[in-house]
Amino acid sequence: MNHVLKVCVRLVAPVVGVALLAGCSPNTPGKAEPAPAVSGTPSSSAASTVFGDLKSCDLLNEALAGQSFPAGEPDRAGGPNSCAAQKAGYGTAGLALHSGLGLKDFTSDPSKIHDGDVNGRPAAQLRDIVGSKGGCAVAVAVGDKNRAFVNVVLSAGSTDEACDFAMSVAKKVEPFLPKGN
């Protein structure tokens, strides 16, 4: 994967919502720009109270343990409590803890959402998050107004593989999330 594409994937994966790689491809350098798909912006003060001392990087690292990912790094692009880890040759996994944004705020196009659950907790899945195969996001409800947002963008692989991996990460993160709220 060339440098421009690596940079684009690194920037897009942890973004609060769906992003599109405008002009980014292995052959065409470009600038990654967010798509207007998620409404609202989580506030840093709300994130510190709803999720308490939970840190997205701690949770992501725990979920990715034993899978050869490097330690996740904070990534403010996804919000004040967001983290991403990139595994060379595989892709990027990200986790953001969004306070003040529920499942209904997941995307501006509800027709693209697949409702479900993660360990019995309401959740929603969005496939092809970067406008092409190999990207998936899973949002897990933390009450009505908060969510944990897991996203995966594969360097190579199918959307089904990305969604399976995103769901796996979400299932490992869910037991650590606050109940209710």
Read off the pLDDT of residues 28-41 as tens digits, 9 standing for 90 and up: 333 333 333 333 44
Predicted pLDDT of residue 29: 38
| pLDDT at position 72 over 70 | yes
Region 67-83 average pLDDT: 92
Going by C-beta distance under 8 Å and a sequence separation of 6 or more, which residues neighbour residue 14?
75, 77, 78, 82, 83, 84, 92, 94, 95, 96, 151
Give the C-alpha separation, 146 to 163, whole Å: 21
| pLDDT at position 7 over 70 | no
Predicted pLDDT of residue 33: 33
Per-residue model confidence as pLDDT tens digits over 103-157:
988 877 778 889 999 999 999 999 988 777 899 999 999 998 999 999 999 999 9
Element (H, E) at 47: helix 44-50
Give the C-alpha separation, 20 to 173, whole Å: 26
Query: What is the percentage of the chain residues whose pLDDT exceeds 90?
Result: 53
Question: At the top level of CATH, which class does the domain 3-176 belong to?
Answer: alpha beta
Region 19-32 average pLDDT: 32
Query: What is the percentage of the chain residues whose pLDDT exceeds 70?
Result: 71
Predicted pLDDT of residue 107: 79
Predicted pLDDT of residue 139: 96
Per residue in 145-163, is it b (16+ CB within 10 Å) or e — as a string?
bbbbbbbbbbbebebebbb
How many CB atoms neighbour CB 73 within 10 A?
Answer: 14
**Higher confidence at residue 85 or residue 30?**
85
